[in-house]
Structure formats: C-alpha cells, structure tokens
Amino acid sequence: MTNTNLNRRRFLQYAAAIPGFAFTESNKLNKTPNSAFKADVEIALTAQMTEVSILPGANTRVLKYTGKLLKGPSGTLKELPSYLGPVLNFEQGQKVRIFFYNQIPEPCVTHWHGMHVPQIMDGHPMYAINQGEQYVYEFEVKNPAGTNWYHSHTHEVTARQVYQGLAGLITITDEIERKLDLPSDEYDIPLIIQDRTFTSGNQLHYALNMHQRMQGFLGDTILANGRRNHVVPVKTRAYRLRILNGSNSRIYKLGWSDGSPLTIIGTDGGLLEKPQTFPYIMLAPAERVELWVDFSGRKPGSELALQTLSYQGFSMRMGGGMGMGSNTMDQGNKGTIVKFAITKQVSDSPRLPDTLVPIHRFTAKDASNPDIVVPIAIGMRRMTFNLNGRTFDMLDYTNQEKIPVNTVQRIRISNINPGIGGGGGMGGGMRGGRGGGMMGMIMAQPHPIHLHGQQFQILSRKPGHADSAYAAIKDGFINSGWKDTVLVMPGEEVEIIKPFTDYTGLFLYHCHNLEHEDMGMMRNFFVS
C-alpha cells in the first residue's frame, strides 16, 4: 500500500472514531487550497535536511524550515542566519495560507504554538504527512499582538525533530499595539534560546539514556538565535526583546549580569496591562517573555549580558549509566546566553508606556460552571509520566476531557505525588523525603504544561513546599496576563481559567519537556 493510501485510510479511521466530526476526505487531508478562503498572505514553508555553519569548522547537519513569501506584505518573512526557520510576522485579522512541504525522510506536522486556530490547522500529530507530501494550513489570525512560535509536533519524535532545528518564531501586531509606539524594526529583537550538544565534528548529538528520558535532554552549549557566544550590537536607547525558550527541557532563570531588574511588557499570550519589574524570570520550555531593555546611560564600548542564573535544579547522579556525563551543563547551572555590546551613542529613545493593553481579568466566577474544575494530574506509572493516569493515544479522551464549546473552564494542574515526601523544591526527592528512593527522585520534577487552542489566565499558584530551593525561584513566575504554558513545580497546584470558543475537535494538552511529551505525557481535550 502506498504512503498516500495509508494516510487516507488513517484519516478515515480517525474521523470515524470522533463523534460528530464532520469532514470530507479532501479537506481532511488538506492537500489543496480552499477556494472559499481568500488569503491575504500566502507562504511556502518547507521542512528539509541541510547543512549550516554553527561552530567554527565543519558545517552541522540539521533539519530546517525554509520559507518563501508568495503573497502579502514584504516584511512577512524575516530570515535568521541560522538553522532556525524564518520569523513569520503577521497582523491580527489577516487570513494566512501556508503551503507546508515535507522534504525530510520521515513524517512531519507543524504546530502553530499559541495560535487560536481550528483543530485541522493546529498541527495535531494525526495530520502528519510523509516525505514529498503537502499540507495546506489556512487560518485567520485571531490572536492579539504578541510573540508565538511554530515547531514540529510529530508523534513520538517531536523532541528529536525540534532539537535538530524544526522551529521558528511568530510575531503578531494589531492596532492597539501600534498606538503604543513600542520599539520596532531594528529595535525589536527576537531571541530564541536553546541548548545543544555537539560532537567533535560539529554534529548535533542527541542520544537518550534512561536518565535523559526521565529528566529531559540537556545540552552543554547555549545558543541564542542558533549562535554560540552571540553578541548583539545595540545603541544607547530602548529596545523590545522577544524571548522564546525553545529548548527541549532546560528551564532558565533569566537575569542581567549587573543585577538590574527586568522590565516585562509581555508574556506568552501578548502584552500585559502595564509593565512589571522582576528580579529574575523563570522561563520554561515553550514560554515566551517580552522585555523592555533601555541601554540609555550606558557607555559605548561596554557590555550587558543576559544570563541564566544558578538555582537548585533537578539532577540525578545515580551511577551505573544513569549520569549525564561530565560535559553536560546541568539544570540550574549559571551561564551566559547573549551579550549586548553598546556600540553607538544616540539621544532619541521612546518612553516606556505607563499602560499597555486592556485585559479582562477572569475570576473563578467567570467559569461556565464554577463548581466544576477540570483536573490535570501529573503522575507516573511504570517509569512513564502521565496525565490523569493516562498516556497519549491518538484519539483517546475521557469524559472529564470532554469540553463544551464556547465555555470558560477552571482547570487545576497538580504536580503532587504521595511518593515524593518532604524536602520539596526542584530537587526535593533528591534529599530523601518520606517517599525516598529512585521513584521519588524521578517524580520530583517541574513540568511545563502547555494547552493548545486559546490562551489562559492563572488564577492561583499553591506551592507544596516552602524551602530555600523554592524561595530562590518563586519571584520569577509571571502569573499575570495571557499564557499557554505554565511551569508547575514539584508539590504545586496551579489553577488556571481557559476559554474554549469558536472551534470544536481534539486539542492537545501536554508537558512541553519534549522528552516527556514523546514518552506519552500528552492527552486530548475533545471540544464539542
């Protein structure tokens, strides 16, 4: 049977298994454009194998998104000189058509992370296409101004495909943002942070032992926009810095090298109501943050570094093949991410606005049924992380995962396991609580939980431990604004509130530690 026939058969089986899921075979496969969809922007996006220069010496073999603008404003695509895909610059209200071509020798599907789009356009793994095939994404940009991203979401190989390069940034602008006169063009800097490990021949190393599967893969080299030891030349004025943690599993504690506070103007789902300052920021995989950075008053020739600061990370040293290896940079180690070199004195600079965008702040009473709380319980069984006691099955959902469309839901994410015991913090199980043993050590991990579809708001965060390890990170959580990913620490319960409007179908929720996702720490909500 050909790959095309296998795909057709698979889609028919999937559709038949989902109650009320109307479709035609042609639009289910999305091989051709919908003539009724009048696109403002058309892009050809190809996933392919190539070689790029990352480190001095031999080129590195990578997987890479390449893009070509077919229709739309000239600034829609911005190439980054690295293995990363082009930055896609959209405007709210635009209708976007993306011709996605898979030229890598395995199935692939692309997820538009943070975007509010229909199920068939969201990049669910069931829509993966084979090498040589095309998938046509068509959606209206409903999100407000902000920073999102796109990446591979292929079943059981998401971690490896993203690690090898299949990721890129999305920016969105709207009328409200434009009136704020925020730094733009060369003063609006994207920054994608990733950690990688290279062989002596400059090739990406990705091989998982049991410990790396359980903790997540950690590289020994931090890259910013695909570059090691990246230096960005800046002028003595204000900049907008859009930061994405594009790492597989590394959690960064972001801070300035001189101890200056960080000024936050946006998070995953867009701009905040007003700027906020933090001493540092905890940024988990898939999370985004937007900073206002003002280099005014700094002398040309000086530098300011954005660092990941030290904190007590989860790190097992089990021996017998369980260790990470001597070259690995453990979770929580200090390191420089990027340096900003002040190269030119200028006198003009925009002023930081006192207010940014209006946000309707939800309370628990705004839920469609305030007495019902949808659970997302982080657990483990048979050395595999799970959610609500279950691992991923392509079409599986339970009664508690059925969500009525056009409702607002309270959701409680709990990272509480009776086997952990005391000790707490990010590595509480390491210090031997009541649960003790290897299971407790493995379980006591933070998990970045991502929900597909619309953004959500955080209602409350209840820490399970109040030790020094937690105290050293607790002031770095951004609990305001709109989010699509939240870091849930060991022992914590985080309650969120999330709209489920406009679209029906299967929408994923999962851990964005990509090794955990590939192990099956992912489930479906069925919105109907």
Model-wide pTM > 0.85: yes
Strand, helix or coil for residue 15: helix
Indicate the pairing of strand 227-228 with strand 221-224.
antiparallel
State the Cα–Cα distance between residues 128 and 390, nearest whole angstrom. 23
Per-residue pLDDT tens listing for the chain (528 residues): 455 455 555 555 556 555 545 444 444 568 999 999 999 999 999 999 999 999 999 999 999 999 999 999 999 999 999 999 999 999 999 999 999 999 999 999 999 999 999 999 999 999 999 999 999 999 999 999 999 999 999 999 999 999 999 999 999 999 999 999 999 999 999 999 999 999 999 999 998 888 888 999 999 999 999 999 999 999 999 999 999 999 999 999 999 999 999 999 999 999 999 999 999 999 999 999 999 999 999 999 999 999 999 998 764 433 333 333 345 678 999 999 999 999 999 988 999 999 999 999 999 999 999 999 999 999 998 889 999 999 999 999 999 999 999 999 999 999 987 334 333 334 433 333 334 444 555 567 999 999 999 999 999 999 987 778 899 999 999 999 999 999 999 999 999 999 999 999 999 999 999 999 999 999 999 999
Domains of the chain: 41-173 (2.60.40.420), 188-313+331-344 (2.60.40.420), 374-418+441-527 (2.60.40.420)
Kindly report the number of other CB atoms within 10 A of residue 271's CB atom: 28
Residue among 304, 215, 309, 264 nearest 521 (CA): 215
First to last CA, the chain: 34
* Residue 499 CB partners (closer than 8 Å, separation 6+): 407, 408, 409, 454, 456
Q: Taking the alpha carbons of 429, 430, 431, 432 in that order, is the dihedral positive or negative? A: positive
Other residues' Cβ atoms within 10 Å of the Cβ of residue 1: 7
| 399 contact partners, CB below 8 Å, separation of at least 6 | none
Two tokens at 306?
Answer: 């954005």
